[in-house]
Amino acid sequence: MIDKPTLQANFAALEARLVAACAKANRPRAAVSLIAVSKLHPPELIRFAWELGHRDFGENYAQELRDKHAGLADCAGLRWHAIGPVQPKNAKYVAKAATVFHALERLDVAQELSKRRVGTPLQCLIEVNVGAEESKAGLPPSDVASFVTAVRALPQLELVGLTAMPPQYEDPELARPHFKLLRELAAEHGLAQLSMGTTSDFAVAIEEGATMVRVGTALFGHRPP
Ligand SMILES: *Cc1c(COP(=O)(O)O)cnc(C)c1O
């Protein structure tokens, strides 16, 4: 695990890159929120980041989210973003812990989340498999319209946007058409939030309209195996 001064330096360096990317895209820095992806890193590191003033954290695995949510319950204002697909039986953990769910792709999970959610509706983004990859989560673009209609009928979910995790390219420029596709799909459905861009390609994602970037490695270092 990296130490707190290193984490602080990583946040500062990333912030400078976010500012530069927003300037290049002619967008205000405030239009893009940074989700710090903390999956597989220990809770103490998340606490350091929270002490440094960061509030939005992304987790992939429902049980890990459940445990970190419980262990860091005293961190006021901390918002959890569930960014990985979930099984119906684990939806209850996401419904309880998350402020935003970025990986909606199954109607049974959507129904379970809506049933289990207490209080304010869970903000959700539909994940789209923009690169048509076998190994990746998300709906094919052609299935998005009917899924949007179904999700909008669920009382405890608030559909706010779309998510993409395009193929990993050596050259981030190559991800651009995938980000563009997501932006066009979101516009078609009147969805404002675009969750796209990771350590390797967030600058291109910001140019293509990302409103939430999900960055792990640039902040916390390499994940433990
Ligand atoms: C792990 C993960 C990230 C962060 O990726 P980095 O390359 O570490 O920035 C972002 N989004 C999702 C869905 C992830 O699983």
Mind listing the pLDDT tens digit of every residue in the chain (225 residues)?
Answer: 999 999 999 999 999 999 999 999 999 999 999 999 999 999 999 999 999 999 999 999 999 999 999 999 999 999 999 999 999 999 999 999 999 999 999 999 999 999 999 999 999 999 999 999 999 999 999 999 999 999 999 999 999 999 999 999 999 999 999 999 999 999 999 999 999 999 999 999 999 999 999 999 999 999 988
Beta-bridged to residue 80, according to DSSP, are: 57
- pLDDT for res 225: 82
- pLDDT for res 47: 98
Residue in 92, 125, 130 with CA at minimum distance from that of residue 214? 125
In ligand 1, the atom with minimum distance to the C-alpha of 83 is 13
- pLDDT for res 224: 86
Query: How far, in Å, is the centroid of ligand 1 from the Cα of 198?
Result: 6
What's domain 4-219's architecture? Alpha-Beta Barrel (3.20)
Pairing mode of beta strands 157-164, 56-59:
unpaired
Instruction: Supply 58's token pair.
Output: 């992304």
In ligand 1, the atom with minimum distance to the C-alpha of 84 is 13
Query: How far, in Å, is the centroid of ligand 1 from the Cα of 216?
Result: 6
Instruction: Supply 65's token pair.
Output: 């989210």
Q: Cβ distance 65 to 86 under 8 Å?
A: no
Q: How far apart are CA 37 and CA 20, in angstroms?
A: 21
Q: How far apart are CA 223 and CA 39, in angstroms?
A: 8
Instruction: Supply 221's token pair.
Output: 């270092």
pTM over 0.85? The answer is yes
- pLDDT for res 74: 98
Residue in 221, 208, 110, 93 with CA at minimum distance from that of residue 158? 110
Q: Whose CA is nearest to atom 4 of ligand 1?
A: 216
| Sign of the CA dihedral running 143, 179, 99, 86 | positive
Q: Whose CA is nearest to atom 6 of ligand 1?
A: 216
Contacts 24+ apart (CB under 8 A), 216-219: 216/36, 216/37, 216/38, 216/39, 216/58, 218/10, 218/13, 218/14, 218/17, 219/7, 219/10, 219/11, 219/14, 219/36, 219/37, 219/49
- pLDDT for res 209: 98
Q: Whose CA is nearest to atom 13 of ligand 1?
A: 83
- pLDDT for res 208: 98
Q: How far apart are CA 141 and CA 181, in angstroms?
A: 9
Query: How far, in Å, is the centroid of ligand 1 from the Cα of 117?
Result: 25
- pLDDT for res 58: 98
